[in-house]
Amino acid sequence: MQEGLSHPKSQFSSWFLEVVSRAGLADLRYGVKGFIVHLPPAVQAMKAMYRLYEQELERRGHKPYWFPAVIPESCFQLEKEHVEGFAPEVFWITQHGDQEELGEKLALRPTSETGIYRMFSLWIRSWKDLPLKLYQSCQVWRHETKATKPFIRGREFWWIEAHDAFATREEAEKQVLEDMEMTERVMHQEFGIPFIFFKRPEWDKFAGAVHTYAADSLMPDGRIIQQPSTHLLGQNFSKPFQILYTDEKGEKKHVWQTCYGPCIWRMLASVIAIHGDDKGLVFPFKIAPVQVVIIPVSQDTAVIKKCKEIYEKVRERFRAELDLTDRTPGWKFNEWELRGAAIRIEIGPKELQTKTLTLCRRDTGSRLCVQEYELLEEIEKLGEELTQNLIKRADEWFSSQVQDAKTLDEVRKKAGKGFLRVPWCSIDEKGRECAERLKEQFALHVRGVRVDKQEKPEGKCIICGKPAGCIVYIGRQY
């Protein structure tokens, strides 16, 4: 009998590492801290996730680019706050060949603003060149000092970065909203990851941004994981990088910019964590590495033949596997549940006789008998139902993870699980000290003010006791 996971999902940290390794998503033994080897199911899932995100970005007018992985030091240092924010994490290429020094050090990109915006200054001349909306799907590298965890925090990860330039601040602000819509459209409606978009406090902005908005999701242990953020960069980069356009009246003006960073790698972490169960991985249908697995429940020649026939049919439209190894059907059921195959087709003598097929859904384990001629449509339908069920389940759990806390005492009692909704003095600079005290005393972070609805402040700041200027959400973070 194939052994199940040794940790239930309620022991989240251990479960997560075990499922990543047992289901063959990643190998952590590469030998360089924070760098992992991505195994086929992880690559397949991420490729499907990239496709969905790229489609959405292109549908909204972004074009695909590939920029170099390196940024020259002089260029990297042009925006002061940005360089201060990222410099500590940069890997530097300084030599080539046999210890020969490079003319200029090259940063292995930790993010690409400084490399890309120098090109913006060459590309943008007139108002007719605007808006300029582009993205690249790529890896970035950051010398993280915190503990690294596969798909959650690493020194090398896979993401998308979208960089947009506009003639006016209004258009840039609209782009920030569009970025939030894309997050909802893809991360929530396709990947089933629930989130709340927050306007981040002044002291927690992206290095170089005017405002930062970030989608926070939760892990099953109640800790917060930051998913995509979108930043209103204003003219903070267009000034040092001299990105100017001539408007319709012939005046030269600096462009307004935004950037948006959906991290596919980290979204996979949320997919694993949110949808998985005690048996292993569960994926929304469209991004499942294996959408359909076909398992013969007898070694009968006619059964095997039918399995192969069905496999050939199914793989034309779906990512499919046919398991003809010499394990028992029970072993195979467990193994493919562990790996998160979305739909299992069982074929035995009974199925041959009745000319039907038995489909089993990974999320509910429920079985369905279908006629052969309707198989592909039924898979499609069942896949969609599975996805919708995962989204519903995730949403229900997520909304149960928000609690009110009006005083420090209540915070103390409820801290650690999900979000606490608390009255707060301010998310401007003047609230920073309260945030630092909250962090020191409770290891809790201020995530910011909700973007999707205005919440009326009531009561007093839980730290300084001044009248609340806003409602913020706090929690433990990854």
Q: Read off the tokens for 240.
A: 């040092």
Query: Pattern of binders to a copy of itself over 69-108, x per CB under 8 A?
Result: xx-x--x-----------xxxxxxxxxxxxx--x--xx-x
Kindly state the tokens that stand for 402: 């928000």
CA 448 from centroid of its chain's CA atoms: 19
Binding positions for a copy of itself, 118-137, rule CB under 8 A? 118-119, 122-123, 134
Q: Which of 19, 23, 44, 198 binds a copy of itself (CB under 8 A)?
A: 44
Task: List binders of a copy of itself among 10-39 (CB under 8 A).
Answer: 27, 29-32, 35-39
User: What is the rounded CA–CA span in Å between residue 181 and residue 456?
Assistant: 24
Total residues found in the chain within this entry:
478
Nearer residue to a copy of itself within complex by CB, 288 or 386: 288
Rounded CA separation 25/43 (Å): 8
181 in Cβ contact with 205 (< 8 Å): no
Q: Are 468 and 431 in contact (CB under 8 A)?
A: no
Q: How many residues bind a copy of itself (CB under 8 A)?
A: 53
Residue type, 411: V
Residue listed under structure tokens 């839980």: 462
- How far apart are CB 112 and a copy of itself at their closest, in Å? 11
CB of 109 to a copy of itself, least distance (A): 11
- Residue 38 Cβ, how far from a copy of itself at the closest point, in Å? 4
- Smallest gap from Cβ 224 to a copy of itself, in A, equals 26
Omega of the bond prior to 349 within 30 degrees of 0, cis? no
Q: Where are the beta strands (DSSP E) in 171-291?
A: 196-199, 211-218, 224-234, 244-246, 252-254, 256-260
Phi, psi for residue 325 in degrees, rounded to 5: -65, 170
Binders of a copy of itself among residues 135 to 174 (CB under 8 A) are 139, 141, 143, 156, 158
Nearer to a copy of itself among residue 64 and residue 349 (C-beta): 64
266 contacts 227 by C-beta, under 8 angstroms: yes
CA distance 31 to 310: 42
Report in angstroms how near the CB of residue 159 gets to a copy of itself at its nearest: 13
Residue from the set 8, 61, 68, 349 that interacts with a copy of itself by CB under 8 A: 68
Cβ distance to a copy of itself smaller for residue 46 or 343: 46
The string over 142-154, giving b where at least 16 C-beta atoms fall within 10 Å of a residue's C-beta and e elsewhere, is beeeeebbbbbbb
Q: Residue 271 CB, nearest distance to a copy of itself (Å)?
A: 17
Q: Which is closer to a copy of itself, CB of 32 or CB of 147?
A: 32
Nearer to a copy of itself, 9 or 319 (CB): 319
User: Where on the chain is the footprint of a copy of itself (CB under 8 A)?
Assistant: 27, 29-32, 35-40, 42-44, 47, 63-70, 72, 75, 87-99, 102, 105-106, 108, 115, 118-119, 122-123, 134, 139, 141, 143, 156, 158
